Chain A
Amino acid sequence: QKEVEQDPGPLSVPEGAIVSLNCTYSNSAFQYFMWYRQYSRKGPELLMYTYSSGNKEDGRFTAQVDKSSKYISLFIRDSQPSDSATYLCAMRDTGGGADGLTFGKGTHLIIQP
């Protein structure tokens, strides 16, 4: 069993829809959770950074963490064609930089105009 599971997609939705992206993980020590967006042939761009369980909202993006279920989600409201990209979840067990991030393999999202 991989440490972080993420559906690779592709996930295709019409413009304006609410998008839900998810990851599950097995390591209960993970405390810091991130979502990155990666466009083709570019480096990952940090979208959301959260600690422990709860919700965090930033503009059209909402990140949710449920540590009891080992499940994290990213919601995108009013989706735009420019949101079409690969979305990667990442997590770490400490706040310091000593441990690398553990990534899901990413979900390819397509927003249809």
Chain B
Amino acid sequence: KAGVTQTPRYLIKTRGQQVTLSCSPISGHRSVSWYQQTPGQGLQFLFEYFSETQRNKGNFPGRFSGRQFSNSRSEMNVSTLELGDSALYLCASSKGDSGSGNEQFFGPGTRLTVL
């Protein structure tokens, strides 16, 4: 079974630009969560999508947004990039059902550098 894939793996942008990152979950998984990882703050939850609907959102500004398609693939967008947005952006896939056994499996991440 293929794992979580993320594209692109590396990205360099300049301040003020916008960026779109893509995530394909494990086949059969309906939930996709996004996280930002930085050396200072560690892993922080951005948002989670299930069946094309945002179910929960972390404490990030509105410049961070996302969506999910009918095939469960997800994209996240960051507009008006700031230097502090430089980070590893991780996507996690899970079945999304309520109850136990809902493990999250991570992709390799997209490393974004903002210059």
Chain A residues close to B by CB (< 8 Å): 32, 34, 36, 41-46, 49, 51, 88, 90, 94-106
Are A36 and B106 neighbours in the complex by a CB distance under 8 Å?
A: yes
Number of interface residues of B (CB under 8 A): 34
Chain B residues close to A by CB (< 8 Å): 4, 31, 33, 35, 42-48, 50, 55-56, 58, 90, 92, 94-109, 111
Q: Is the interface of A mostly helix, strand, loop or mixed?
A: loop
Query: When A32-B100, A105-B42 are in contact, do A100 and B56 touch as well, CB less than 8 Å?
Result: yes
Q: Pick the residue among B4, B45, B50, B96 that contacts A100 (CB under 8 A).
A: B45
Q: Is the interface of B mostly helix, strand, loop or mixed?
A: strand
Q: Pick the residue among A42, A49, A100, A105 that contacts B103 (CB under 8 A).
A: A49
Query: Within 8 Å CB of A104, what residues of B?
Result: 42
Are B102 and A43 neighbours in the complex by a CB distance under 8 Å?
A: no
Cα(A38)–Cα(B23), bound, Å: 19
Are B48 and A98 neighbours in the complex by a CB distance under 8 Å?
A: yes
CB A35 to nearest CB in B, in angstroms, measures 11
CB B33 to nearest CB in A, in angstroms, measures 6
Q: Pick the residue among A42, A45, A51, A101 that contacts B100 (CB under 8 A).
A: A51
